[in-house]
Structure 1
Amino acid sequence: MDLLLTKQADPTSPLFHHYLTPQEFKSQFGPTKDAVNNVKLFLQSHHLAVTSISSNNLVIHTVGSVAAIESTFSIMLYDYIINGRTAFAPSLNPAVPNDLAPSLRNIAGLNNLSMYEPRYRMLKEDAPPHPLPISYTPNDIQVAYDVKPLLNTGANGAGQTIALFELDGYNPADITTYLDLYKLGPKKFSDVLIDGTRNVPGSGAIETTLDMEMVSSMAPNALQKVYIGPNTTVGVNDTYNAIVTDNSAKVVSTSWGQCEQAAGEAEMGTLHDIFRQGAAQGQTFFAASGDDGAYDCGDTSLSVDSPANQPSVVGVGGTTLLLNKDSTYGSESAWSTIVRTQLLGGGGGLSSYFSRPAYQNNLAITSPQRMVPDVSANADPATGYSVYCSGGNTSICKGWITVGGTSASAPVWAGMAADINQYLTKQKKISLGNANSILYALSNTPQRYPAYHDVTTGTNAFYKATIGYDLATGLGTPDIWNIARNLSGSILRGPALSEGDPG
């Protein structure tokens, strides 16, 4: 699998950007029928019902009594009180027979100790009746990051599909209000409901709303498929797996995460399998890198966020962006600040689980670990984005508000990527696909047009922004028109496309 991904990223390889269909992935790399059947028989022999098997054979759903589950996996489940919340978890790690162990990456759903958190941040929650003067509008960001010339060519996301990974609902009328004010056209979104969820705005509605509006601000004509799943480990896995097995979106945005240590090694492995399938299919994943600077777990230990830590995901960090009066790019620094004694900043650092991927080999930093983030965009809530949100059971969504966080920078990048893909298709070039190798090549090899604003000031509360790649802002923030023009040249010229290839 790793060899295929390497060849797909190599412009000299015959397999460069020749991506698999979900069916091809299943036949070449998915668990075999025998492996799936052995797991199924094992579960049924312990009085557990197998309720479904995902189309790629990566996920098996099973249900049963607590006693049957405890007996099957040699555990005891206990209730715990954590921060006033009752949670359950086993006292020991689950065990399975040795001959079955190679077929089981992870047994999810045995605890509910940790949940995914949205990566948005606000300086204050009181909302005025109209967009705040300090809130950046779609036009501001389009001008600052040089998206405007690309939009003026007609590359506004038309014909592109962007998947949004969400763990809460939203009010469709909020999106319409936003689109109408900024003249971004009619709504273009549909819901994909996972594991019996419904689109009911809850405490996380602001995240879903933010994601949809940020994507709309950069790619107003793209179709958004909003995948909404339960905020459980099983729900997270099922939602990501649905995005991958559907394979209808070549750009994916996620602004929900948790620190690596909370996720754990087994869950890291499950997500790794899912994201690698997406990468092999040519899907580009953008993930918020977190809003706690270099301390993603919220304590004094250096840590990074999942899934921005995944090698097949583009981790998107955060900056403080200042504009000139005409909205053109002024200056930028790594984002970190203290608000009411709480440290805020763009997530970044070294993964404890993943080794340094090949696309990070030519950097000044010599760590053997996966480095985060890959790129950045404005995320400081003091220079935040204008958002309209009225749905949900929280006092935050009271109309027009200013929102920041890497929750905003990830969907901003996703929208810009959809515009680039449309432009490249029009130029008869192949699209971004598994994008990290391309994004790093734009920085590491000579280009006609500068692809990034190199952020060289500020810190993320530990790591400094420096010349070139750094652990505070990655490669920097984009000049999208320059990136599109560079990519329409030689860097993406691979072998002729065959039937079934994206683009």
Structure 2
Amino acid sequence: MLADINQYSKDNGLPAMDNKSYRDIGAKPAEFSDEAACQFPSGWQGEQSFDVDSVHTTAPEANILYVGGFNCGGGLDVAMSKILDGKLANIVSNSYGNVGEALPQDVIEGTLNIHLQAAGEGIGLYFSSGDNGDQAAKLGYASPDFPASSPWVTSVGGTSLEVDKNNRYLFETGWGNRLNKVITNPDGSKAYAGPQPGPVQGGGAGGGVSAVFDQPVYQKGIVPDSLANGHRVSPH
């Protein structure tokens, strides 16, 4: 990982990192479990590298501690607990989540206990809002992803803001890809099935109204009642 981030830094004019500014205390290969279910160690390598590179880009002078889990289930909670128990960071960036919120109650409660510990210690937890919009294409109904929907974490999506030459607000749009279907006409020519950019959600920042969590006090009066309907809304 250190070699990767330094190559990225070289390519983008960022300061190099060393064994003091970047540390890795994640699980060792001999400790990995459920490798097939977790798409094998290399399955998440690109995501992990991207996350570390993004942190370094955002805060080039910050120290980075990488803590990887021994699997993509309970191992992530163990990794998080290691950070919190040792007070090893004041900001924890996480780029994983469930598809929606349909999880056993004991799993949700166990994860929330970790979130509450972080809040009590003043450690900020930041979770990606997801990659598939409101998940309706996968689930058949709209849903945010957990743990990003937890009221004790900050759900981070992606939004592009458009301003004019005088920096006045014009509009904003959530990050995502739209796909269009290509059809064959009777004469053999090709055409798009509908107007561009197309009707199919091809990935993008997630979010929505939680079916599990009530509206936290910090969103009351901020998020419109017509949207929240008394529930937690993410991303922030």
2:139 is matched with 299
CA-to-aligned-CA distance 1:389-409 (integer Å, 9 cap, x gap): xxxxxxxxxxxxxxxxxxxxx
2:69 is matched with 229
C-alpha contact 2:2 2:22 (8 A) present in aligned 1: no
SS of equivalent to 1:287: strand
Identity %: 29
CA-to-aligned-CA distance 1:241-260 (integer Å, 9 cap, x gap): 11211212001100111134
| Equivalent in 224, 246, 258 of residue 98 of structure 2 | 258
What is the CA distance between 1:282 and its match in structure 2? Answer: 0.4
What is the CA distance between 1:203 and its match in structure 2? Answer: 1.5
Long gaps (5+) in structure 1: 1-170, 375-503
Paired residues for 1:77-476 under 5 Å: 171-187=1-17, 188-194=21-27, 196-197=31-32, 202-295=42-135, 298-320=138-160, 332-339=172-179, 341-366=200-225, 367-374=229-236
C-alpha contact 1:292 1:347 (8 A) present in aligned 2: yes
- When residues 330 and 178 of structure 1 are mapped into structure 2, their CA distance, relative to the original with a 3 A threshold, is farther
What is the CA distance between 1:335 and its match in structure 2? Answer: 2.9
* Runs (4+) off by over 4 Å: 321-325
- When residues 297 and 285 of structure 1 are mapped into structure 2, their CA distance, relative to the original with a 3 A threshold, is farther
Which whole-Å CA distance do the structure 1 matches of 2:139 and 2:100 have between them?
13
CA-to-aligned-CA distance 1:113-154 (integer Å, 9 cap, x gap): xxxxxxxxxxxxxxxxxxxxxxxxxxxxxxxxxxxxxxxxxx
SS of equivalent to 2:57: helix
What is the CA distance between 1:261 and its match in structure 2? Answer: 3.4
- When residues 285 and 297 of structure 1 are mapped into structure 2, their CA distance, relative to the original with a 3 A threshold, is farther
Bigger CA radius of gyration: 1
- When residues 330 and 355 of structure 1 are mapped into structure 2, their CA distance, relative to the original with a 3 A threshold, is closer
C-alpha contact 1:259 1:297 (8 A) present in aligned 2: no
Which whole-Å CA distance do the structure 2 matches of 1:232 and 1:211 have between them?
16
The letter for the 2-side match of 1:190 is R
What is the CA distance between 1:280 and its match in structure 2? Answer: 0.5
CA-to-aligned-CA distance 1:16-40 (integer Å, 9 cap, x gap): xxxxxxxxxxxxxxxxxxxxxxxxx
Which whole-Å CA distance do the structure 1 matches of 2:94 and 2:151 have between them?
15
- When residues 271 and 291 of structure 1 are mapped into structure 2, their CA distance, relative to the original with a 3 A threshold, is same
- When residues 201 and 234 of structure 1 are mapped into structure 2, their CA distance, relative to the original with a 3 A threshold, is closer
1:156 is matched with none
What is the CA distance between 1:339 and its match in structure 2? Answer: 3.3
1:15 is matched with none
What is the CA distance between 1:174 and its match in structure 2? Answer: 1.5
C-alpha contact 1:265 1:353 (8 A) present in aligned 2: no
C-alpha contact 1:253 1:287 (8 A) present in aligned 2: yes
What is the CA distance between 1:372 and its match in structure 2? Answer: 0.6
SS of equivalent to 1:278: helix
SS of equivalent to 1:208: helix
* Higher RCO (CA < 8 A, seq sep 6+): 1
Is 275-284 or 357-366 further displaced after alignment? 357-366
2:187 is matched with none
CA-to-aligned-CA distance 1:88-120 (integer Å, 9 cap, x gap): xxxxxxxxxxxxxxxxxxxxxxxxxxxxxxxxx
> What's the C-alpha RMSD, in Å, of the aligned pairs?
2.7
C-alpha contact 2:157 2:205 (8 A) present in aligned 1: yes
C-alpha contact 1:296 1:304 (8 A) present in aligned 2: no
CA-to-aligned-CA distance 1:1-56 (integer Å, 9 cap, x gap): xxxxxxxxxxxxxxxxxxxxxxxxxxxxxxxxxxxxxxxxxxxxxxxxxxxxxxxx
CA-to-aligned-CA distance 1:362-410 (integer Å, 9 cap, x gap): 1252221111111xxxxxxxxxxxxxxxxxxxxxxxxxxxxxxxxxxxx
C-alpha contact 2:101 2:212 (8 A) present in aligned 1: no
What is the CA distance between 1:283 and its match in structure 2? Answer: 0.4
